[in-house]
Amino acid sequence: MNFYLTYVLVATALFAFTALFTLFALYSERKISAFIQDRLGPMEVGKYGSLQAFADILKMLQKEFIIPSAADKILFTLAPIVIFVSVYLGFAALPWAPDVIPSSLNLGIFYIFAILSMETIGILMAGWGSNNKYALLGSMRSVAQMVSYEIPAAIALISAVMISQSLNMQEISIKQGILSPERILFLGVWDVKAIGGFLAWSIFQAPHLIIAYVIYFIASLAECNRAPFDIPEAESELVAGFHVEYSGLRFAFIFLAEYSMMFLVGMIGVILFLGGWNSPVPNIGSIKLAAWTTGIGWGIFWIVVKTLIVVAVQIWIRWTLPRLRVDQLMSFCWKVLTPLAFLCMLISGVWRLTMMS
């Protein structure tokens, strides 16, 4: 019975983490955007507005559930749950530290990609269920964008998987640091297994993965529906896109899904390309920095810090770049990202056969 209790505890902990992260990200997004636009941002609630996110959540909890009279009630009610659960399930296969992983699946990254594709169904449910033309248009745009950008993202991930030779996220992480059972070649020539640190990360094992990471990062922005790829919610055209009719706790769930998705895609990128929970500092001679900073506590620390940096870059990009037009968005995906991703995959194959054999 303990066995099942652990499952419930792990799931609850993950949910608590996503909720806390959303609160934190909400506040930091406001503050970063304020900094970029040269304003102060929230300042009233608490010191430097630090309680603003809690105040917002309290406000949302008190709100009434409004279901439009012409809406499809079942679909409208279920949609936020489907959207959130699909993102939340993705966390099941992500490793946090050596030996700390909710479920060490052999299919790892493939499973996460499959589960994330469920989100499109939830978005279409929300769009159709609302019975609102803006919501429907927003959801159609969102799905078209997510389905197209899945392709370069997946191919870029495959090129990283070809270097690490495993779909299991934990094995991929292990192969990028001092705990690796095999030798690690920095740029394919210098054995850095004993040195570790950032030299052992995937992007430095095979330098073309830097391009693959940039492709993945851009495509993951589009999958989160974030600016500059936020045409599904384009405020000036569609009011708020697919979640225009939602209020209160249901809206909070859609919001939670969006921010958890940011963390999730950031974390996938960190695990596959940026060394996962491995420490960025290398061993230098007798100063064993990498060995000292590897362990369960350090692992969680490093992966959270790395992912938060990636999330900060996502926020920074959102408040810096203007929105793309639909045709620009599609031609960028199909004519630039997809061929480049295929090129990366080809180089990965050649690299694996020539430099790493």
List the beta strands (DSSP E) in the chain.
185-186, 190-191
Nearest approach in angstroms of CB 237 to other proteins is 19
Tell me if 247 contacts other proteins by CB under 8 A: no
For other proteins, which stretch binds (CB under 8 A), given 57-65, 106-114, 192-200, 298-306?
Answer: 106-114
Number of residues that bind other proteins (CB under 8 A): 25
Copy the structure tokens of residue 81.
């749950």
Beta strands 185-186 and 190-191, pairing class: antiparallel
Q: Are 253 and 83 in contact (CB under 8 A)?
A: yes
Binding mask 29-68 for other proteins (x = CB under 8 A): ----------------------------------------
For other proteins, which stretch binds (CB under 8 A), given 31-39, 122-130, 210-218, 273-281?
Answer: 122-130
Provide the β-strand partners of residue 229. none
Nearest approach in angstroms of CB 108 to other proteins is 10
How many Å from the N-terminal Cα to the C-terminal Cα in the chain? 46
CB-count burial class (<10 Å; 0-12, 13-18, 19+) for 240: middle
Interacting residue with other proteins among 74, 284, 296, 326 (CB under 8 A): 74
Question: Of all helices (H) and strands (E), which one includes residue 345?
Answer: helix 338-354
Cβ nearer to other proteins, comparing 136 with 155: 136
Among 200, 219, 183, 203, residue whose Cα is nearest residue 340: 219
- Give the chain's radius of gyration (CA, Å): 21
For other proteins, which stretch binds (CB under 8 A), given 70-78, 95-103, 203-211, 240-248?
Answer: 70-78
Provide the β-strand partners of residue 88. none
Instruction: Pick out residues in 127-186 that bind other proteins (CB under 8 A).
Output: 128, 136, 140, 143, 147, 150, 167
Which positions lie near other proteins, rule CB under 8 A? 4, 72, 74-75, 105-107, 110-111, 113-115, 117-118, 120-121, 124-125, 128, 136, 140, 143, 147, 150, 167
